C-alpha cells in the first residue's frame, strides 16, 4: 500500500504525492483504444495552480490545486473493512447497488470513518450506444475541514451511470 510523503511535495491528485504504484483500471482488448474525446466524455479542467518551493520548476512545491468541472455525486463509506487485493472499501448510495473505492494510501484508510460522506467526481465516461451501460471512472474526494470549499483525493472508483443519476455539474477544487 502506498503512503503519503512525510513533507508536502505535491497535491493529493498527483502521483507524486505518494510512494508506491499508481492504480488505473483500464482494460485493453481488441476493441479498446486509448481514451479520446471522440470516445469518452471527460471532466473539464477549469483552473490549475502550482507554487514551487524553489526556483526549480520541477522540484518540490509549496502548494497546488486543480479545479475540475464535472458531474459529482455524494456517496457513503459503508465499511472500513478492506476488500483484497487492492485495498477497496465499499461505498453506497440509497437505491443503487454498492460499489468500491480503491484507496490511494494507508493514511487514507487510517483517517476513514464508518459512514463518512465522500464526493465522487465523474472524470471519464464512455460514449458507447444507448443500449450500453457505461462505466464511469471517478475520483473519490473528501472535504478538507481546514480549507473550506477544498477537497483532497482519497481514491479512485469505477462506478455505473446509475450512481450519477442525481448528480449535478459543479466545479470542485482539489488540493
| Domain assignment of residue 41, yes or no | yes
| Domain assignment of residue 125, yes or no | yes
| Domain assignment of residue 8, yes or no | no
| Domain assignment of residue 6, yes or no | no
pLDDT confidence of residue 112: 80
pLDDT confidence of residue 40: 75
Question: pTM for this structure?
Answer: 0.84
Nearest to 89 by CA among 130, 120, 61: 120
- Residue 99, helix vs strand vs coil: strand
Q: pLDDT 10s per residue in the chain (175 long)?
A: 688 888 888 889 888 888 877 665 555 454 556 667 777 788 999 999 999 989 998 888 899 999 999 999 999 998 877 776 667 889 999 999 999 998 888 888 888 888 889 999 999 887 775 566 678 889 999 999 999 999 999 999 989 889 999 999 999 999 9
| Domain assignment of residue 139, yes or no | yes
Q: Would you give the DSSP letter of residue 15?
A: G
| Domain assignment of residue 4, yes or no | no
Contact 158, 135 (CB under 8 A): yes
pLDDT confidence of residue 35: 67
| Domain assignment of residue 2, yes or no | no
What is the span of the domain harbouring residue 145?
15-174
| Domain assignment of residue 27, yes or no | yes
- Residue 30, helix vs strand vs coil: coil
pLDDT confidence of residue 33: 60
88-93/96-103 β-pairing: antiparallel
Contact 119, 74 (CB under 8 A): yes
Tell me how many domains the chain contains. Answer: 1
Amino acid at each position: 500500500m502506498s503512503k503519503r510523503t512525510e513533507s508536502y511535495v505535491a497535491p493529493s491528485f498527483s502521483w507524486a504525492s505518494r510512494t508506491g504504484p499508481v492504480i488505473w483500471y483500464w482494460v485493453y482488448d481488441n476493441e479498446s483504444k486509448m481514451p479520446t474525446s471522440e470516445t469518452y466524455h471527460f471532466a473539464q479542467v477549469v483552473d490549475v495552480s502550482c507554487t514551487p518551493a524553489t526556483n526549480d520548476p520541477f522540484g518540490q512545491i509549496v502548494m497546488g490545486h486543480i479545479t475540475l468541472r464535472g458531474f459529482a455525486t455524494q456517496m457513503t463509506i459503508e465499511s472500513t473493512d478492506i476488500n483484497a487485493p487492492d485495498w477497496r472499501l465499499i461505498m453506497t448510495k440509497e437505491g443503487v447497488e454498492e460499489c468500491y473505492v480503491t484507496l490511494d494510501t494507508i493514511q487514507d484508510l487510517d483517517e476513514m470513518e464508518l459512514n463518512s460522506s465522500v464526493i465522487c467526481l465523474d472524470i471519464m465516461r464512455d460514449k458507447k450506444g444507448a443500449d450500453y451501460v457505461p462505466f464511469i471512472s471517478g475520483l473519490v474526494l473528501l472535504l478538507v475541514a481546514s480549507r473550506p470549499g477544498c477537497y483532497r483525493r482519497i481514491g479512485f472508483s469505477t462506478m455505473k451511470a446509475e450512481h450519477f443519476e442525481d448528480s449535478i455539474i459543479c466545479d470542485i477544487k482539489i488540493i
